[in-house]
Amino acid sequence: MENKVKKYSQFINEADDVSVDKNSSTFDVLKDEIKSMIENTIDKSGGEFKSFVDSFIKSPEDVKIEGLINDDQLYDFWLKYENEIDELLNNNKYFDKSPKDLNIIGVYKYVITSTQQAIELIVKMLK
């Protein structure tokens, strides 16, 4: 009997062969959570939702969402929404790139960077 080791992306693709578009309700939980966090950020610092989203999309490294600023907050967010984040990233072919291709060294940094990427994708869905 021959054992074959599959890439993680192959495993995920087999588990989820359906393509998900940005209007799908699949990621409603993530969208609702991010939207709520953006609204809390706006409540504290002022502004309006649409302009905040536009600014975040334009410059995600400069515009911060309250509760998703520090690595430990991003890690906690990932722990809470791990399955949804994995599905979102897989649907966007994120796992087709190796950590080396993304210039990431270390598992923790990979989780943080991947979570940031998922947040950027969700904010784009909110536009």
Give the pLDDT confidence of 68-99 residue by residue, as tens digits: 999 999 999 999 999 999 999 999 999 999 99
Burial readout 18-47 (b: 16 or more C-beta within 10 A, e: otherwise): eeeeeeeebbeebbebbbebbeebbeeeee
What's the first-to-final CA gap in the chain, in angstroms?
A: 51
Compute the residue count for the chain.
127
pTM for the full model?
0.79
Angle at 37 between CA 31 and CA 41, to 5 degrees: 140
Average predicted confidence (pLDDT) for the chain: 86
According to the model, what pLDDT value does residue 21 have? 47
- Please say if the pLDDT value at position 100 is more than 60: yes
Instruction: Name the 3-class secondary structure at 120.
Output: helix
Between 1 and 89, residue with greater pLDDT = 89
In the chain, domain spans: 26-126
